[in-house]
Amino acid sequence: MTWAIPCPQQPSLPIVGSKDRFPVRRIYCVGQNYAAHAREMGSNPDQEPPFFFSKPADALVADGATIPYPPGTENLHHEAELVVAIGNGGASIPRETALDHVWGYAVGNDLTRRDLQAAAKKIGRPWDMSKGFDNSAPCAPLHPASSTGHLTSGAINLTVNGETRQSSNLSDLIWSVADVIAYLSTLVELMPGDLIFTGTPEGVGPLVPGDVCVVEIEGLGKLTTRIGK
C-alpha cells in the first residue's frame, strides 16, 4: 500500500529534558473555567457545568514562533492557559484517579478570533472557525509530571510587549485538572496524546501585528509568540 498523497505530518510537542517528542492526537479546550473570566464573557460561573470545544492538532505552534496575523478577523485575542497532556487514556475516569492519566503539563495560548466567536454566539452557530484556525494553539515544550508533580496552584501570567494583561493563579480554576479529565472522559474516550487546554483567567484582550505575547506559569516556564506584520 502507498499513500495517494504525501502523508500529513504527525503533530507533536518537544519534551523538556529529552530528545523524544510527544505525539499529539486531539486538542480539547475548556470554556470559561475561571470565575472572573466567565463573568467578563457575560456568563454566571456559579450556574454552569464545564463545556468543551476543540482545535485541530496541527494548529499547534512552537515556542518562539512568529505567526501571521490570522485572516478573517479584526479582533485576535490571547488566552493564557495551562495545558495538560494525557498519557493513559480512558472513558468515565473517576475523579479520584484522574491525575494518574496525566503525562505532563505545558504553557499554552488559546488564540481566539473574538469577533467571529461573538457573531457565532449571537446566532447559535459553532465556534470552530473562531477557535480552531491555523496557528491557533501556541504551546511550549511539555514538562513530564514525573518531574513537576501535579499542578494545583501557581501563578499564571500573560504579558504583551512587556505589559501585564492576565495575572491569576491555577488555584482559581473552577474545574480542577482532575475534574476536567473526569467530566470530559464521560463525553469522549480520552487517548494517549490528547491535550487539554484548561481555560483562561480574566484579562483577555487583543493582539495586533508586531506584538510579542509571553505566557508564564510558575514551574513551567514561558511561552513566547510573536504576531507577524
Q: Which residues bind Mn ion (CB under 5 A)?
A: 79, 110, 200
Residue nearest to Mn ion (CB): 110
Whole-number minimum distance, CB 128 to Mn ion, in Å?
14
Q: Which is nearer to Mn ion, 176 or 200 (CB)?
A: 200
In angstroms, the first-to-last Cα distance of the chain is: 44
DSSP 111-145: -EEHHHHHHHHHHT--SHHHHSSTT-EEBPPBEEH
In this structure, the strands spanning 195-197 and 27-31 are parallel
In the complex, minimum distance from the CB of residue 219 to Mn ion, in angstroms, rounded to a whole number:
20
Q: How far is the CB of 188 from Mn ion (least distance, A)?
A: 18
| Residue number, 79 or 194, with CB nearest to Mn ion | 79
Q: Which is nearer to Mn ion, 51 or 91 (by Cβ)?
A: 51
DSSP 8-state assignment for residue 13: E
CB of 29 to Mn ion, least distance (A): 5
Half-sphere exposure in the Cβ direction for 152 (13 Å, CA): 5
CB-nearer residue toward Mn ion: 111 or 151: 111
Give backbone dihedrals phi and psi of 15, rounded to 5 degrees, phi first: -115, 130
Cα(130)–Cα(221) distance, integer angstroms: 27
Q: Report the nearest approach of Mn ion to the CB of residue 53 (Å).
A: 8
Contact predicate 81/123, CB 8 Å: no
Our CB check for Mn ion shows the closer of 31 and 90 to be 31
